[in-house]
Structure 1
Amino acid sequence: MSIFKKFIRYYQPYRGMFYFDMFCALVVSAVDVAFPQILNFLTKGLFTEGTRTILRSLPWIAAALLVMELVRLGCQYYITSWGHVMGARMESDMRQDLFDHLQRLSFSYYDRNNTGEMMSKLVSDLFDISELAHHGPENILISLLKILGSFALMMMINVPMTLILLGLTLIMIVFSIHQNRKMRAVFMDNRKKIAGVNSRVQDSLAGIRVVKSFGNEELEQAKFTESNLKFLDSKESSYRIMGSFRAGTSFFEGLLFLTVLVSGGLFIARGSLHVADLAVYALYINIIINPIDILIEFTEQFQKGYSGFKRFIEVVETQPDIEDRPGAVELKSVKGDLQYQNVSFSYDSANDVLENINISIEAGKTVALVGPSGGGKTTLCSLLPRFYDVTGGSVKIDGTDVRDIKLKSLRSAIGIVQQDVYMFAGSIKENIAYGKPDATDEEIITAARNANIHDFIAGLDDGYDTYVGERGTRLSGGQKQRLAIARVFLKNPRILILDEATSALDNESERHIQNSLEELSKDRTTIVIAHRLSTIRNADEIIVIGDDGIEERGTHQELIEKNGIYSKYYNMQFEGLD
């Protein structure tokens, strides 16, 4: 019932359309059910009168029936067109809710889940939910009205014969409920398996360059075949169950006609049923069978939509790990004083990535983090904009715990250039403007100049309107890196995080960019993660982070003179030592 109540909420904005859709369904059902009764009335009444009376009445009867059919036509049009529009709008609302919620979820959610499965929930699941939203109430109402209305009217003709047919129909319903339970599990399994297929496709195509560079096309084909065959097995199971369901219901439909003929013959022989009534019964059986067929199709539709909506609800009810605390404040007049106080962090409760880290960075200073991969440098930086929350201690900006600052305000004050640069499918201009969506063309060009990429852009045929390709595939690594730096120039934040910001650049470009970054860093608090130690010689403080936490700290010259870990790294890079 809780799932049902959550589903009903999406009808609220379209109550008027929904109620009129149900009214139209009521009219269509009433017209269909009334026709055999009208025929029964005419064959026993008017059509037994003289020829003159029949001919005089026929135009009026034809006109009345035509009006009925025209009304039915209009109602059927509304059901088919605007009923589907309502379902499409509900689907759009759900898709928007799902996408908005995915945007709110924390990094930890994406660490645990696959993009292909998320895409499956956004596309195929929601389509099935839309079909259920439109056809579900309408099909149930029409089918129930036709079935119940037909039995009620047949009761007026012959009670015993109608009760026999009703009993057979109830057995058919019990059979359908039993089969329905089997289908519920198999359709949920279908959803999981097709999500696995989507996940495999997304993973393989996103890494197609790696696949081809290793010549592992056959390996990817084998992995896809495994997922594809699992989905095929699940589909085959569902079709076998659907086959027994449909065959069984078809058998019961045949029994209904058989019962009408046999019982009808007996009642006619006893004189308790008129011969004309048998034809009316046959018409009503056809009317009953049609909604039964609709309900059979609806059963499959319901299972798909229900399982899809359950998966939808599982996502939208997932609480983000990172949210604004009650009473969170806006970050105003940012100076940029940073404090890491007894900071500990772990991705799971078993292993600490960071433990009791204490760092204090004065506003406007540049601090570099160096050390072996896996030491926690990027994780330490990720705690500042609250991509993850500390498991112990606190991170503060200007004396305020970042957990007490509104997320949007916090992240607006921080600019990040990451090691793995992501370019959106669009133009160069759009990618730079991501740092400030309302930026003018002049601001975008200035940012590009500061990042030392304006001349390259200007030399392209389409200039700033050049399409970069999916994930920036039409650009080199260095070009993407400089576009990412241009974004940060445009954002102009008080706090900078440069995570291997020059790692993809050649020596000449690195020198130009380094000058630009140093200019950008003036009067801004900057944290630099670097393996190329030439880029951090001028840092106010260099902190060496290893497996045991902070192992060394000081200026470049101090650490060289100390002749410790930093000195070893530096000599390895610049003197070629093993």
Structure 2
Amino acid sequence: MDMFAHLHRLSLSWHLARKTGEVLRVMDRGTKSIQTILQYIIFNVAPTIVDIIIATIFFFIAFNYYFGLLVLVTMILYLTVTIFVTEWRTRHRREMNKAENEWQFIGVDSLLNYETVKYYGAEEIEYNRYKGALITYQQAEYRNTSSLNLLNFLQNGIIGVSLVVGTLLIGYLISLPNSKYTSGDYIMFTTYIMQLYGPLNFFGTLYRTIQQAFIDMENMFEFLSESIEVAEKPNAIDMPNGSMPLELSNVSFGYYENQKVLENISFMVRPGETVAVVGASGSGKSTLIRLLFRLYDTKSGQIFFGNNEIKDVTINSLRSSIGIVPQDTVLFNDTIEYNIRYGRPTASGEEIEDAAKAAEIHDFILTLPNGYNTIVGERGLKLSGGEKQRVAIARTILKDPAYLLLDEATSALDSHTESRIQENLIQLAKGRTCVVVAHRLSTIRHADKIIVFRDGKIIQSGTHDELIDKPGEYRELWVLQHQRH
């Protein structure tokens, strides 16, 4: 549970640099290893150690020091070989884990992109990619298993030699004239020494299993040790209720060193106002939304919600106050009702339906065989892009946030549906602090202010009518889009 919670606390940049299938495999393998270690240490290691100590003392007392020394030397040699070879084998286990991570990742990645595979007729490519990763894993597994067999051979060899030496020694002592030892002692010795080597052999297996479990946990603890880039201050306060002004002051940001996606961005959105951000692809519009939602922290400059700087408020209260309709809507593989209710888990069925009606998707849902209980499929693939977007809009409407961020919120809709939903979004934005990122300029004509981005900088700002009346980037985009139609 700690691992799962930590993964959700890690930054978006960390997740974008990782493979989902690999993360899940590391998490699964690591948690099972903890269970293995606890089970073996508590129920097996302590009793085995006690068993070996008592047996060794018994041989010193019941026979003579030769047998005690034989058992002692055997144990020392056995444990030394076990530890040395097990440590040597760890690299093979690590290689196997790495190969298994890659194999699992390719399988998950390929199935998640099932449609793309079909579009390009790439079934054979994916088959060969998966086969190559599986063969690499099997080769690593072979080396790991071979090294294990070598360890078992050495362990059994040490015990076998010790048994031969011990039985020859007791046999020799019995054959001496006037010996105090009898054939019964021979049987007792062999019985006891076999019972001793049983737990000794098991102890070797325990050490190997525990060492292997620690190796399996390495990756998981590496994940747990990852620092949280976007962390809240210890004395952070909750966001006050209601809409307040949103202000950016000289905000700069880049995903990499010596690269700026946004540079010295400053503007204000008052409660009840809608500010639209437009510009060519790659101009920094979606990055701005991520900064407002605090998926990343600014490199320089400040973002204020009312009188509170974004880093001074708790992350949970910040994100609870913001509703977002992203450009790329991804749904849970659950029912439509579950996905809409995600906006406010305590909402009633009637409230969910009202939100769906406002998003112009209620009538469509009723045409489905299971209505609101229809499963949408992995990442919502059973729905079209427009249907997924309307579910996302319904979810945001249900959330009833103080701040509203719309990132190309109607990009996947047809013109007729878009015009109807646009009216609903305008109603939703009333009384709220709203920032809209748009590509189609016709959707943001109503905005109180339009800000034009280019290469991460603000080059123009004003109302639609003001920007249309003067030469510049906005008028060029407007003319270009209307020429296409």
TM-score (norm 1): 0.81
In 2, the alpha carbon distance for the partners of 1:396 and 1:545 equals 20
Deviation by residue 1:286-343 (Cα, 9 ceiling, x = unmatched) = 2122223322332332233101222222222222111221211111133331111010
In 1, the alpha carbon distance for the partners of 2:84 and 2:38 equals 24
In 2, the alpha carbon distance for the partners of 1:548 and 1:418 equals 20
> Are positions 1:255 and 2:132 aligned together?
no
In 1, the alpha carbon distance for the partners of 2:308 and 2:145 equals 60
Q: Report how far residue 368 of structure 1 moved.
A: 0.9
2:396 — aligned with what? 488
- Which protein, 1 or 2, shows the higher relative CO under an 8 Å CA cutoff with sep ≥ 6? 2
> Are positions 1:479 and 2:384 aligned together?
no
Task: For residue 545 of structure 1, give the secondary structure of its aligned residue in structure 2.
Answer: strand
Question: What is the identity percentage for the equivalent residue pairs of Structure 1 and Structure 2?
Answer: 34
> Are positions 1:156 and 2:61 aligned together?
yes
Q: Would you say the 8 A contact 1:368–1:530 is kept in 2? A: yes
> Which of residues 91, 96, 106 is equivalent to 2:11?
106
> Which of residues 306, 319, 328 is equivalent to 2:227?
319
In 1, the alpha carbon distance for the partners of 2:143 and 2:30 equals 20
Q: Report how far residue 243 of structure 1 moved.
A: 1.3
2:243 — aligned with what? 335
Q: Which deviates more from structure 2 when the two are superposed, residues 249-258 or residues 292-301? A: 292-301
> Are positions 1:381 and 2:289 aligned together?
yes
> Which of residues 413, 418, 440 is equivalent to 2:321?
413
In 2, the alpha carbon distance for the partners of 1:295 and 1:185 equals 22
Q: Would you say the 8 A contact 2:356–2:391 is kept in 1? A: yes
Q: Would you say the 8 A contact 1:129–1:308 is kept in 2? A: no
> Which of residues 398, 413, 429 is equivalent to 2:306?
398
Which one-letter code corresponds to 1:173 in the other structure?
L
Q: Write out aligned runs for 1:122-271 (5 A).
A: 122-158=27-63, 159-270=65-176, 271=179
In 2, the alpha carbon distance for the partners of 1:193 and 1:229 equals 9
Which one-letter code corresponds to 1:318 in the other structure?
E
Q: Would you say the 8 A contact 2:323–2:405 is kept in 1? A: yes
In 2, the alpha carbon distance for the partners of 1:300 and 1:504 equals 56
In 2, the alpha carbon distance for the partners of 1:402 and 1:165 equals 69
> Are positions 1:561 and 2:466 aligned together?
no
Runs of 5+ unmatched residues, structure 1: 1-95
1:433 — aligned with what? 341
In 2, the alpha carbon distance for the partners of 1:129 and 1:326 equals 31
**Which one has a bigger Cα radius of gyration?**
1
Task: For residue 62 of structure 2, give the secondary structure of its aligned residue in structure 1.
Answer: coil
RMSD: 1.5
Q: Which deviates more from structure 2 when the two are superposed, residues 129-138 or residues 438-447? A: 129-138
Q: Which deviates more from structure 2 when the two are superposed, residues 236-245 or residues 487-496? A: 236-245
Task: For residue 562 of structure 1, give the secondary structure of its aligned residue in structure 2.
Answer: coil
Q: Report how far residue 453 of structure 1 moved.
A: 0.9
In 2, the alpha carbon distance for the partners of 1:218 and 1:461 equals 36
In 2, the alpha carbon distance for the partners of 1:466 and 1:163 equals 73
TM superposition outliers: structure 1 runs of 4+ over 3 Å: none
Q: Would you say the 8 A contact 1:414–1:495 is kept in 2? A: yes
Q: Would you say the 8 A contact 1:334–1:398 is kept in 2? A: no
Q: Report how far residue 434 of structure 1 moved.
A: 0.2
1:524 — aligned with what? 432
Runs of 5+ unmatched residues, structure 2: none
Which one-letter code corresponds to 1:113 in the other structure?
R
1:49 — aligned with what? none
Which one-letter code corresponds to 2:105 in the other structure?
S
Task: For residue 323 of structure 1, give the secondary structure of its aligned residue in structure 2.
Answer: coil
TM-score (norm 2): 0.96
Deviation by residue 1:55-87 (Cα, 9 ceiling, x = unmatched) = xxxxxxxxxxxxxxxxxxxxxxxxxxxxxxxxx
In 1, the alpha carbon distance for the partners of 2:138 and 2:470 equals 65
Which one-letter code corresponds to 2:120 in the other structure?
F
